A and B are shown apart, each in its own frame.
Chain A
């Protein structure tokens, strides 16, 4: 049973863990994958497309790190490039046009840190998603299924409802990155993980996320079924709102986050 914050980090990163690709396969019926950002290329770290969740048409955008080593290299271990974020935004706009809810699955250590990613505007791509998602005229549900790593995770995280799996983590910086800045040694990652308050329970208490899906003591099938039910419930709740109400609630939800005196 996971206890410490760093145990959760390890669980979230485990190669056995069900991530975006798993949930697309197991939650979405008649999935049609749609590729490419129509600008430069197609990023395999993001699997996206359309299908049905409990008979409700949805657009799905999922971070996926791959299975075999070769597959993982192709997908940059699930770290999206600017093309991935731009593909996501293109499909969100398509969903908006047809009034279809968007479901995002987040699970990666962060945006890909590469020379080419910088050349093609990694920062701009993430910024654009934050900006456009805030007023996208259709419900957005974001689910943190694995490691929610920094801005690269948030770029799919501006949701009306953000759900976290119990053992997922969500943080501004990796515990290793934090430890090397703070204590000049990434071996202090467990202490950094505690300090960063990155567990699902922490984020729920901070009102940064709205729901936690229990995992401990449950089979993967039960977890998947619970998540499916939770997403369905949220979609029907959000569909009852007018677009104006939906967008006002989304804005206010993020507007309120912050602590100061």
Chain B
């Protein structure tokens, strides 16, 4: 009974500080002790940038099947849904950012490490097709361990499917902004994460294709400090800017605005 009144706390993964959930949320999930950017759920992400009450979820009813009868996948899916409280590793919809209509998506690492299977691929493809049809820009947050191996070849093919939809959206003259968050790796990096007209990264986010351990084992070389971090990605020319959370919404709004504004008076 006492527990009900106990303040909920979260442990910072970097400095191990115990921070109350409320104060962490108020601080945009940045640790007040060490300034580390902690991972955020999909809905928290969308809350942070969408105008209040404007988010309207699309295709939330699509759910995964264990089509190739992969051992343990059914249990994993049930477990992921229960633990994360969300329906899949990406949440899609339409919303407004500073009163500008757009299509939005946010991946969530709490659901099977944000891995991409058929549902993630299908929700994103439908979102880009909808945005292309309605002439909406797409703003998306990526976080993923890569393709979802439990769906075998179907997960790999989602990379091509989503990239095709991104192309269709782009060819129709629409803007796509990606925000790379910690961690964005594997098949998501090698598809829609890297296809934004404008690519923003969060400070210190891990962004790469191959896993650090695989690279070390293959090459026998020690990885340089800061390898595959946002600052490394920026330095090598694969992101446009690193943007801090407190100014992310205003930065996105400014980007959207300049793409819709004819001439400023």
User: Does A154 lie within 8 Å of B221, measured CB to CB?
Assistant: no
Nearest-neighbour CB distance to chain A for B168, whole angstroms, equals 7
Stretch at the interface among A22-30, A165-173, A213-221: A165-173
Q: Which of A170-202 contact B (CB under 8 A)?
A: 170-173, 178, 181-182, 195-198, 202
Closest residue on chain B to residue A150 by CB atoms: B156
Q: How many A-B residue pairs have CB under 8 A?
A: 182
B125 touches which one: A115, A120, A255 (CB < 8 A)? A255
User: Does B161 lie within 8 Å of A173, measured CB to CB?
Assistant: no
Q: With A131-B167, A131-B195, A251-B164 in contact, is A154–B156 under 8 Å at CB?
A: yes
User: Does B159 lie within 8 Å of A151, measured CB to CB?
Assistant: yes
A178 to B154, CA, bound (A): 15
A117 to B215, CA, bound (A): 10
Nearest-neighbour CB distance to chain B for A217, whole angstroms, equals 26
Q: Which of A81-119 contact B (CB under 8 A)?
A: 111-115, 117-119
User: Does B210 lie within 8 Å of A172, measured CB to CB?
Assistant: no
User: Does B187 lie within 8 Å of A150, measured CB to CB?
Assistant: yes
A135 to B171, CA, bound (A): 10
Q: Shortest 10 CB-CB distances between A and B: which pairs?
A: A123-B189, A113-B210, A258-B118, A123-B209, A130-B163, A126-B190, A259-B67, A134-B164, A172-B156, A127-B194
Q: CB-CB < 8 A to B62: which residues of A?
A: 260-261
User: Does A254 lie within 8 Å of B149, measured CB to CB?
Assistant: no
A260 to B168, CA, bound (A): 23
Q: Which of A125-163 contact B (CB under 8 A)?
A: 126-128, 130-132, 134-135, 150-151, 154-155, 157-158
Does B181 have its Cβ within 8 Å of any Cβ on chain A? no
Does A122 have its Cβ within 8 Å of any Cβ on chain B? yes
User: Does A208 lie within 8 Å of B153, measured CB to CB?
Assistant: yes
A188 to B14, CA, bound (A): 34
What residues make up the interface of B, taking CB atoms closer than 8 Å to A?
Answer: 62-65, 67-68, 70-72, 118-119, 121-122, 125, 147-149, 151-161, 163-168, 171, 186-187, 189-195, 207-211, 214-215, 218-219, 221, 223-224, 227-228, 232, 236-238
Q: With A123-B193, A124-B238 in contact, is A260–B65 under 8 Å at CB?
A: yes
A260 to B193, CA, bound (A): 23
Does A41 have its Cβ within 8 Å of any Cβ on chain B? no
Does A18 have its Cβ within 8 Å of any Cβ on chain B? no
A206 to B156, CA, bound (A): 13
Closest residue on chain B to residue A191 by CB atoms: B71
Closest residue on chain B to residue A158 by CB atoms: B160
Nearest-neighbour CB distance to chain B for A206, whole angstroms, equals 6
User: Does B195 lie within 8 Å of A127, measured CB to CB?
Assistant: yes
User: Does B147 lie within 8 Å of A130, measured CB to CB?
Assistant: no
Nearest-neighbour CB distance to chain B for A231, whole angstroms, equals 21
Nearest-neighbour CB distance to chain A for B99, whole angstroms, equals 31
Q: Given A112-B218, A208-B154, A208-B157, 13 other A-B contacts at CB below 8 A?
A: A114-B219, A126-B191, A127-B191, A134-B163, A150-B147, A151-B159, A151-B186, A254-B157, A255-B164, A257-B161, A258-B158, A259-B154, A260-B64
Q: CB-CB < 8 A to A155: which residues of B?
A: 190
Q: CB-CB < 8 A to A171: which residues of B?
A: 152-153, 156
User: Does B208 lie within 8 Å of A196, measured CB to CB?
Assistant: no
A123 to B211, CA, bound (A): 12
